[in-house]
Structure 1
Amino acid sequence: VAGGLLTFMLWRHILLIYAIPAAVMAIFVWWSLKDLGIEDGDQQGGKKPQRRVLAGYREGLAMFKNPVVATLVLAAAIRGVANNALFQWSPFYLKNATDGGLDMGYFSAGVHLSLLTGMGIISAPILGYLSDKYGRKQVLVPGLIIAAVLTMFVVRAGDSLMLAVLLGGIGLFSFALQQIILAAVLDMVEKGTEATASGLIFGINGMLGLGSPFLAAFIIQDLGGYGSIFYYVGILTLVSAVIIVFIPFPNHRAERPAGT
């Protein structure tokens, strides 16, 4: 959609348009969740003891005593860095005429990016169902390997129909697999700490993501232009898959730790 709008509008105007649904959704989410955390019998606005921030951090760090959780968080972080690089630099590869870019028009680049980012709408429910039925590892390992292989073939495809097929295939796994890794972590943590675990994963991804653009820029500048970023992403995705292969999942519906 953004690519199509760019064919006849300035990007500043498009940003303003996109700000409207974002603001509407923010108000809707605030309204929907305003009573979240208020238990039956509690009065809205009544004072309740609040968990201290430091206690929350200690509780989160205690999760890393479980080697399965720690390894899953590592795999999620590596995969998150790969995703960040993919989504940050793919537009430059598609649009720029220099450094190995394809010099596409705005509309064509937008269509290809929509395949990369939008296919998860279709795949996420399906992959989530399969991971519930057959196991997290049984979906994560082949999914990550397929995503890595497809990513490494992007440059060879050039500006052809195969490029759209490859980006669509990568898009099927881009967001969905990250959510399944998160689900695997939540399977292993104690009840009541799920939000802390989720926050840790996103926080670690954010910290690692601070250095990822600089590393990606170095790769682009010194190791082959924009196309080299896809090999970088593919290698990181394979590393994440290898890590998950060696994680001892006794059962994808893992028993929660005692005391939950």
Structure 2
Amino acid sequence: MRHQIEETKILAHNGRMWGITAVAGLRGMAYIGFITVLPLYLADELGLKLIEGEGGFENLFYRGSLIGLLVLVGIFASPVMGYLSDRYSRKLVLVPGMGVLAVLTFLMASLGDTLTGMTILLAGLGLFLYSDQPILTASAMDIVREGTAATTLGMMSTSRFIFSAVSPIIAGALYTINPDNLFYYTTTLYVAAIVILLFIRLPNATPPVHTEGGHQDHGHQHAHASEEAAVPQHRRR
């Protein structure tokens, strides 16, 4: 327990960890605010309202399909983005991915007022909307020491929950002023997350190494083993 408390104190003084936590919070804030108010925009601006009589079911189907498109595209995109971040660099995937999210969200203000335009933009958004959260978590795991994984995940989850809790209120208030404010608000959060991420030094990706037995091993595993070997026996316990 003493060792765990010491490791947690070290984690609390890790500036890079606080940076990743802030990025995760802003990213969660952007997602929750956007996905909460988006159905209102689809109903009010695209006319996809649930109304009695002919056309009501079709409108509900189109609205649900547009939101489901984000998830469908993300199912196939997330493993690919995760592999690229493992193979090359976390930041090399995260920064351009969030940049694309910011651009596409910003374009929704001018091009998202038609069903065709919104469909294309949401499909592009799905490529990165769900894939960067696991990569952010993996980035945090790359930074922290062994024995603090649960603490790290707790910090990131708390950040996401706190930021996300207020986001729908802000997004909803801005939407009542002007529906396009939803997209400007979300874009601003993405840009803020990108700026913070650019100043965080993330560990370089270590490509898998094939051993004589044909198994894959990773450089960071060897590094952990070396660090553990350097720790005195009484601290390991």
Match of 2:149 among 194, 206, 210: 194
Shift in Å at residue 140 of structure 1? Answer: 0.5
Equivalent residue for 2:24, pick from 63, 70, 76: 76
Contact 1:140 1:180 in 2 (8 A): yes
CA distance in 1, matches of 2:8, 2:183: 33
2:42–2:63 contact (8 Å) kept in structure 1: yes
Count of aligned pairs between the two proteins: 202
Structure-1 separation of matches of 2:147 and 2:83 = 24
- Percent of pairs with identical residues: 32
Matched, 1:181 2:136: yes
TM score, norm. by length of structure 2: 0.77
CA RMSD after TM alignment: 2.4
Separation in 2, partners of 1:172, 1:90: 17
Paired letter, 2:81: L
SS of corresponding position for 1:153: helix
The residue aligned with 1:10 is: none
Question: Are positions 1:156 and 2:110 aligned together?
Answer: yes
Ranges in structure 1 where 5+ consecutive residues have no aligned partner: 1-50
Q: Hey, what's the Cα distance between the residues in 1 that align with 2:33 and 2:183?
A: 9
What is the CA-CA distance between 1:196 and the residue it aligns to?
A: 2.1
The answer as to whether partners of 2:139 and 2:202 remain within 8 angstroms in 1 is no
Residue 136 (structure 1) shift: 0.2
* Structure 2: runs of 5+ lacking an equivalent: 49-58, 207-219, 232-237
Q: Is it true that 1:89 corresponds to 2:37 in the alignment?
A: yes
Distance 2:201 2:20 in 1: 10
Question: How has the CA–CA distance of structure 1 residues 159 and 183 changed in structure 2, closer, same or farther, with 3 Å as cutoff?
Answer: same
1:102 aligns with 2:56: no
Q: Which structure has greater helix proportion?
A: 2
Whether contact under 8 Å (2:69, 2:126) holds in the other structure is: yes
- Aligned counterparts, 1:28-47, within 5 A: none
Cα offsets for 1:197-229 (capped at 9, x unmatched) = 11221111111222212211221123x12x321
1:56–1:167 Cα change, 3 Å: farther
In the TM superposition, what is the alpha-carbon distance from 1:61 to its structure 2 partner?
5.9
Match 1:244 to one of 183, 197, 203? 197
Call closer, same or farther: CA 1:57–1:162 in 2, change over 3 Å: farther
Deviations 1:37-73 (A, max 9, x none): xxxxxxxxxxxxxx79xx9788556423111111111
* 1:246/1:94 CA distance change after superposition, 3 Å: same
Q: Please name the residue that 1:125 is paired with.
A: 79
Q: What amino acid maps onto 1:89 in structure 2? A: V
